[in-house]
Amino acid sequence: MRRIPVILAVLVALFLLFRPFVTVGAGQRAVLFSLRGGTLSRQLGEGTHFIVPFVQKPIFYDVRTQTYTMSAISWEGETKGDDSLTALTADGQEVKIDVSVRYHPDANKIYQLHKSIGVDYANKIIRPAARSAARVVFAEYPVGDVFSTRRELITQRITENLRRSLGQNNIILDEVLLRDLRFSPAYAAAIQQKQIAQQNAQRMQYVLQRAQIEKQIQILIAQGEARSIQLRGRAIAQNARIVQYEYARKIAPNVGAIITDGRVALPFASGGASTPAGR
């Protein structure tokens, strides 16, 4: 009877030593690799499971959403250094893009993913598939569309193509993010020159418009003066005495006079005495 506690203690020690159980945490799946038959066609879900010590080995996979980033910023992406994607547009312009791919392994097909690709599926599948899908789509659009309202359409098409590609490898795509797009230095310089030319053209158009407005103003002024002369001429033709008044005003600006019909006396000139008018 005294041996029973000793036997139990030995069994517990062996149990803990050989670990005939495995715990799969939240958001994980485990694939069992058998030393006899390789990867088993089944997987372990969350919880505690018994396995055969020394024969079966669990390999864990995270089935939660993950992000694979390819960026020009060295510390931001999965690969150190400039890992941004370079693509050519339909008109041959080079574009550099920072891309983030959000995905998760198909939780029901982890053992298939492990058989066909393995634990390094991100570098073997996610990275090359994302770069290929992006380059194919960018090659269908000119650079003007890439940096305009069609950017959303381009993102959508890349997402559709990449979703099909990853789905064939038991990976579910959640989202593709084109986080930054940059021109090549040569194209950036061309864009800058184009903007300068547009600004110069707009400035010249403004100068021409202003000259046209000033011309119209001068025409209106001239038309007004011509109308005034026309009205005065008409008035003079109707009243000849105005001609006499204008004539007297021109030859003697300081003379105050009233032109009459000869029967009324003329007022005196400035500083002088009045004289009667002859009949």
pLDDT digit string, tens, across residues 147-194: 777 888 999 999 999 999 999 999 999 999 998 888 877 776 666 666
Could you tell me the two tokens for 41? 């066609």
pLDDT band at 224 (very low <50, low <70, confident <90, very high): confident
Q: Quickly state the pLDDT bin for 274 (edges 50, 70, 90).
A: very low
Residue 160: its pLDDT value, please?
96
pLDDT digit string, tens, across residues 39-80: 676 789 999 988 877 778 889 999 999 999 999 888 888 888
Phi, psi values for residue 46, rounded to 5°: -65, 140
Q: Comparing 34-38, 133-137, 221-225, which segment has the lowest mean pLDDT?
A: 34-38
pLDDT reading at 279 higher than 80: no
* Alpha helices (H) in the chain, listed in sequence order: 3-18, 110-116, 121, 127-138, 143-146, 151-167, 185-238, 241-251
How confident is the model at residue 126, as a pLDDT?
95
> pTM of the entire structure?
0.62
Nearest to 52 by CA among 25, 30, 32: 32
